[in-house]
Amino acid sequence: MPDVLAVEPLTTPVDATVRPPGSKSITNRALLCAALAPGTSTLTGALFADDTRAMMSAVAALGATVEPDEQRSTVVVTGVDPRVAGAPGSVDARQSGTTSRFLLPAAALFAGRTVVDGAEQLRARPFGPVLDALRQVGADIEELGRPGCLPAAVHGPAHGGFVEVSGHISSQFLSGLLMAGPLMDRGLAVSLTSPLVSVPYVEMTQSVMASFGAVVNGLTVEPGGYRPADYAIEPDASAASYFLGAAAITGGRVTVSGLGAGSLQGDVRFADLLERMGASVTRTADSLTVRGGGRLQGIDVDMADISDTAQTLAAVAVFADSPTRVTGIGFIRKKETDRLAAVVTELRRAGIDAVEDADGFTIHPGAPRPTRFATYDDHRMAMSLSLIGLRAPGIEIADPGCVAKTYPAYFTDLATLT
């Protein structure tokens, strides 16, 4: 990957059918549930990217056998029983929020000490709520770096029972606890101490757990473990948002195959926002199509449920004919970077009137000038800002390789749009 990538504007509206790689979120849940199920599970349609490789290595460290076949997007996992296996020792979650927040509770199932760490970027993100929750269910925790941060050592086994955790910083703490619940002697009953963000991801957690035989009712998990399963993973809906956004801003058509009406991913609702802006959307059992063409109007929207698509919406909003205001997403300041500051800084660099709010941003439409966008080692900065280059000349993306976190082939796939 070059240090800087120039995006060529499209000369005709996009007209394409795409199938993005597998969902990062579903892949990492399925890998963990399979790793905790006795027997062999086969995951098809899996994502191969830095975040899911982090999870594959992590569950291998837990003692599961992981046989990846990238050509076939398949992973065969043979699970481990934490009640008889030794503690993993150490886990490197790299830059992956899901791997780290899901692994801490899983590591707490093992008798012994596991150190969970990650890249500098991950060490800057919050972990306090899950560390405190694990103490409540019987694990010993050592915070080895800054308080509430990685690296942290977990000593299990955690026995479960009643646990309180906050919901307003990240839903991943709750998802991680729920997924460890079936292996805790007492199961788990979770109570939220603050409003939950990213709600659809918790529903996804409950669904994947149930597919691997766990009994979960709301935030209560029965003891009883997992069963192995053959599990098909949907394409990634957050990744799809870039292609759907491209249809909207070029007045063209994009169909995403494999993302149907029954999708487990909240981010499919990004299409609803494009519809509110004026695009037309067709939903079938197995696909999602967006057609642009008419005028695109700005919208006022709370994106707390689907915040991974907020930067995509910011890029689309540049080409609307009235301002777009996004609220409810103050928590995305603690993702790969401060995403509110980053997206506003970069749009302003291109001459767009963008304003940062405490819990969101406002984008006023405009004509972007030729700009080299900085990407803050945030895959979603790179992918979303590239959309601007499909319409405006002279757009360059610095450090395009950062897309490897969730979508290594993104720029190759973007180049296939006609």
Ligand X SMILES: O=C(O)C1=C[C@@H](OP(=O)(O)O)[C@@H](O)[C@H](O)C1
Ligand Y SMILES: C=C(OP(=O)(O)O)C(=O)O
Which SS3 state, helix, strand or coil, does residue 235 take?
Answer: strand
Residues 345-404 that bind ligand Y (CB under 6 A): 380
Task: Please report whether residue 172 would count as binding ligand X according to CB under 6 A.
Answer: yes
Q: Whole-number minimum distance, CB 215 to ligand Y, in Å?
A: 26
Q: Whole-number minimum distance, CB 250 to ligand X, in Å?
A: 26
Exactly one of 19, 94, 253, 335 binds ligand Y (CB under 6 A); that residue is 335
Within 10 A of 240 (CB to CB), how many other CB atoms are there? 30
Structure tokens at 6: 């120039």
Q: Which residue has the tokens 């058509």?
A: 253
| Residue 96 binds which entry of ligand X, ligand Y, none, CB below 5-8 Å type-dependent | ligand Y
- Contacts with ligand X, 184-213, as mask; x by CB under 6 A: -------------xx--x------------
349 labelled ligand-binding: no
Q: Whole-number minimum distance, CB 155 to ligand Y, in Å?
A: 25
CB 152 within 8 A of CB 142: yes
Task: Please report whether residue 308 would count as binding ligand X according to CB under 6 A.
Answer: yes
Which SS3 state, helix, strand or coil, does residue 73 take?
Answer: coil
29 labelled ligand-binding: yes
- Cα–Cα dist 110/84, whole Å: 8
Question: Residue 86 carries which DSSP code?
Answer: P
Closest CA to 350 of 383, 320, 393, 379: 393
170 labelled ligand-binding: yes
CB closer to ligand X, 307 vs 324: 307
Upper half-sphere CA count for residue 136 (Cβ side, 13 Å): 16
Residues 235-274 that bind ligand X (CB under 6 A): none
Q: Which residue has the tokens 């966008």?
A: 373
308 labelled ligand-binding: yes
Task: Please report whether residue 98 would count as binding ligand X according to CB under 6 A.
Answer: yes
C-alpha torsion angle, residues 268, 273, 274, 277 (rounded to 10): 170
Q: Which residue has the tokens 């002697």?
A: 185
Q: Whole-number minimum distance, CB 29 to ligand X, in Å?
A: 7
97 labelled ligand-binding: yes
- Contacts with ligand Y, 286-325, as mask; x by CB under 6 A: ----------------------x-----------------
386 labelled ligand-binding: no
Decide the pairing of beta strands 40-44 and 74-78: antiparallel
Exactly one of 175, 309, 312, 406 binds ligand Y (CB under 6 A); that residue is 406
C-alpha torsion angle, residues 76, 82, 84, 89 (rounded to 10): 90
Task: Please report whether residue 95 would count as binding ligand X according to CB under 6 A.
Answer: no
| Residue 201 binds which entry of ligand X, ligand Y, none, CB below 5-8 Å type-dependent | ligand X
175 labelled ligand-binding: no
- Cα–Cα dist 204/197, whole Å: 14
Task: Please report whether residue 234 would count as binding ligand X according to CB under 6 A.
Answer: no
One-letter amino acid for residue 141 of the chain: I
CB 343 within 8 A of CB 383: no
Catalytic residue chosen out of the listed positions 308, 378, 399, 413: 308
C-alpha torsion angle, residues 108, 110, 115, 118 (rounded to 10): -70
Task: Please report whether residue 337 would count as binding ligand X according to CB under 6 A.
Answer: no
CB closer to ligand X, 219 vs 395: 219
113 labelled ligand-binding: no
Residues 49-88 that bind ligand Y (CB under 6 A): 51
Question: Could you confirm whether 308 is annotated as catalytic?
Answer: yes
Task: Please report whether residue 250 would count as binding ligand Y according to CB under 6 A.
Answer: no
Decide the pairing of beta strands 90-92 and 112-117: parallel
Q: Which residue is nearest to ligand Y (CB)?
A: 97
- Cα–Cα dist 97/121, whole Å: 10
Task: Please report whether residue 175 would count as binding ligand X according to CB under 6 A.
Answer: yes
Q: How many residues does the chain have?
A: 418
Strand order in the sheet with 220-221: 161-165, 188-192, 220-221, 216-217
- Which residues contact ligand Y (rule: CB under 6 A)? 51, 96-98, 308, 335, 380, 406
- Which residues contact ligand X (rule: CB under 6 A)? 25, 97-98, 170-172, 175, 197-198, 201, 307-308
Active site (catalytic) residues = 308
Binding-site sequence positions for phosphoenolpyruvate: 24, 97, 125, 172, 339, 380, 405
